[in-house]
């Protein structure tokens, strides 16, 4: 308790999922949270529940992020902690992907080779899908760091959400893997730049965690559990506690690192 007492944290994509749980644990540890999401009403709902404040922005849009920081500046003159959590899987509302997930699960249950990659393979990845994925994850992380650093006092902390897909890589998620790997490289470079100010920049690369993002993969959950040495998928708290650690002074000598809570699914960074 009180590990983040008096600290002001901006968390992107925090209306639900991992971001919302990170915000909740931050509040329990004494932080004031500013909840960002695409929809102001969704962000406000979570912020109200946690006693925090809300700002809307599409993190992939530089004008939208600039407007968000205008609002943030009316709320506070500093941000001690930034969590770049906003993200997409790329299969939201994609019925073809749903069908591929179903076929893949059925084939694997029969012990057969899976029929095709979840994104349909590289020839099926459109410019639009590729750009959107990189824009939300990589551009969004960059824009929010650029907006925050001038407001961040020494001894601040930045946490960027990567993924095991950015370290391990996997067919069927080309754009997602590329975006998450890019975030890890960006994290290390920014950690170097900000170390003289004692601002720490780290990444969390979660394994498979139960959230709305992984719900559409439900037919594959049994296989993911089997592939995970700890025999289960993760829960949002498995990530939130890592974020609390990395944001706190307990991690005062930790920078440029990737912490990967994944139940042993991938054991090397």
- What are the residue numbers of the active site? 176
Which one of residues 24, 32, 44, 58 is an interface residue with ligand NAD (CB under 6 A)? 58
The region of 81-89, 148-156, 187-195, 252-260 touching ligand NAD under the rule CB under 6 A is 81-89
Cα–Cα distance between 162 and 219 in angstroms, integer?
Answer: 24
- Beta carbon of residue 137, minimum distance to ligand NAD (angstroms, whole number): 6
The residues that bridge with 157 in the sheet, in sequence order, are 81, 200
The residues that bridge with 201 in the sheet, in sequence order, are 158
- Site membership for ligand NAD, residue 15 (CB under 6 A): yes
Contact residues for 5 (Cβ-Cβ < 8 A; gap 6+): 29, 30, 31
- Beta carbon of residue 252, minimum distance to ligand NAD (angstroms, whole number): 25
CA contacts within 13 A on the Cβ side of 80 = 18
Contacts with ligand NAD in 166-205 (CB under 6 A)? none
CA 77 centroid distance within chain? 25
Contacts with ligand NAD in 226-265 (CB under 6 A)? none
Cα–Cα distance between 178 and 139 in angstroms, integer?
Answer: 13
Q: How many residues bind ligand NAD (CB under 6 A)?
A: 27
Which one of residues 167, 211, 228, 260 is an interface residue with ligand NAD (CB under 6 A)? 211
CA 49 centroid distance within chain? 21
- Beta carbon of residue 105, minimum distance to ligand NAD (angstroms, whole number): 17
**Of residues 168, 248, 254, the one with CA closest to residue 205:** 168
State the residues that interact with ligand NAD by CB under 6 A.
Answer: 12-13, 15-19, 37-38, 58-60, 85-88, 136, 140, 161, 163, 206, 208-209, 211-214
């Amino acid at each position: 308790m009180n590990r983040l007492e008096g600290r002001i944290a901006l968390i992107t994509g925090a209306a639900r999922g991992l971001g919302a749980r990170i915000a909740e644990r931050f509040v329990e540890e004494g932080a004031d949270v500013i909840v960002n999401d695409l929809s102001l009403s969704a962000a406000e709902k979570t912020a109200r529940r946690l006693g925090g404040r809300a700002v809307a922005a599409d993190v992939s849009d530089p004008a939208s992020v600039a407007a968000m920081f205008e609002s943030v500046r009316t709320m506070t003159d500093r941000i001690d902690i930034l969590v770049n959590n906003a993200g997409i899987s790329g299969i939201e509302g994609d019925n073809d992907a749903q069908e591929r997930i179903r076929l893949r699960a059925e084939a694997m249950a029969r012990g057969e080779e899976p029929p095709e990659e979840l994104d349909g393979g590289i020839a099926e990845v459109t410019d639009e899908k590729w750009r959107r994925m990189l824009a939300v994850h990589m551009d969004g992380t960059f824009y929010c760091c650029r907006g925050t650093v001038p407001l961040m006092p020494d001894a601040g902390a930045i946490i960027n959400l990567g993924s095991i897909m950015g370290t391990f890589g996997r067919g069927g998620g080309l754009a997602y893997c590329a975006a998450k790997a890019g975030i890890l490289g960006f994290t290390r470079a920014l950690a170097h730049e900000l170390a003289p100010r004692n601002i720490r920049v780290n990444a969390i690369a979660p394994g498979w965690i139960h959230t709305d993002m992984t719900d559409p993969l439900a037919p594959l959950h049994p296989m993911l559990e089997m592939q995970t040495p700890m025999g289960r998928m993760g829960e949002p708290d498995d990530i939130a506690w890592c974020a609390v650690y990395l944001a706190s002074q307990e991690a005062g000598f930790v920078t440029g690192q990737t912490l990967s809570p994944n139940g042993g699914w991938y054991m090397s960074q």
